[in-house]
Structure 1
């Protein structure tokens, strides 16, 4: 598609920058001025704003975008959780974690310092699956106190062999930052988790 590696890399840098800006909630930057600023800088042309003005402009726009994104995402999450908590079979902890028991068992439950082995699937409110050990064909093992708070709390409720579904508020998940390109900031997360084993 492109004539050289530099052309490919140039387009890739643009995509990377756009992806990051979109994740931060920026939707309407002037693309022509973005291109002009890059051209001016690399060509050593006089810049149209000072460094202080640069930082101020970026800070103001990012702050406003973050607030708008928070309002949009948290409103959707709050609405979902408020409706979900009234459904049959939904349990709620004092922290706000919601869960339902898909398959119950009797057996030991992990402590916060234990390592566990689980199968899981994680999805957003729109149903998009962002991670799944089922798709990879193998479970995952980890130390419980090294994962998000919603998992730490939820897995300690589970006997070995059980299958729970967790509805995790953003405060107990990836918070205001999100995670990678697949989990936006302020996202409610839905996890199906099967606890297979406690310990190594």
Structure 2
């Protein structure tokens, strides 16, 4: 019995995630539409659905899906954490990504209240649901 308990503790130690495991932004594209005529660029007003979790525990701390309304932002101007400003660039409408964000591109040393502890790496499951209308030349109108 002690042997099984020791194996279980060892397995937990090996599987445990630590915030220091995440040292750079990781972008995993989980779905990309076949047709993509426009991608998100700095300065674009975009809409995304997202679910945010803590890297270490997987605990959900926020989700636009739970509210039933996408989150709107202007990309690349510092309205959101740096990991989002970088990780959402180049997305097509309908594209889905998982962003694994190190603490220094999230909330860093300060955390976010009691919801996100200081020095926390975060994981966001994001879906681009709205890009600005494509800019058209006058002769195309």
SS in 2 for 1:152: helix
Where has structure 1 moved over 2 Å in runs of 4 or more? none
TM-score, length-scaled by structure 1: 0.53
Q: Which residue in 2 is equivalent to 1:124?
A: 54
CA displacement 1:81-139 (0-9 Å, x = unmatched): 37xxxxxxxxxxxxx21011111122311112111101000000201111001111111
- Check whether the contact 2:41–2:90 (CA below 8 A) recurs between aligned residues: no
Q: Which residue in 1 is equivalent to 2:99?
A: 166
Q: Which residue in 2 is equivalent to 1:77?
A: 19
Unmatched tracts of structure 2, length 5 or more? 1-16, 134-141
Q: Quote the offset at 1:78 in angstroms.
A: 2.1
Distance of 1:154 and 1:198 partners within structure 2 = 15
Structure 1 residue 188 corresponds to structure 2 residue 114: no
In terms of fraction of residues, the more strand-rich structure is 2
Among 28, 31, 43, which residue is 1:103 paired with?
Answer: 31
Report the count of equivalent residues: 112
Distance of 1:179 and 1:155 partners within structure 2 = 21
SS in 1 for 2:18: helix
**Rg: which structure is higher?**
1
Among 77, 101, 114, which residue is 2:44 paired with?
Answer: 114
Structure 1 residue 152 corresponds to structure 2 residue 85: yes
Unmatched tracts of structure 1, length 5 or more? 1-74, 83-95
- Check whether the contact 2:52–2:125 (CA below 8 A) recurs between aligned residues: yes
Q: Which residue in 1 is equivalent to 2:14?
A: none
Of the two structures, which has the highest relative contact order with CA contacts closer than 8 Å and spacing of 6 or more? 2
In terms of fraction of residues, the more helix-rich structure is 1
Q: Quote the offset at 1:180 in angstroms.
A: 2.0
Distance of 2:130 and 2:73 partners within structure 1 = 11
TM-score, length-scaled by structure 2: 0.73
Q: Which residue in 2 is equivalent to 1:57?
A: none
Distance of 1:110 and 1:199 partners within structure 2 = 9
SS in 2 for 1:141: strand
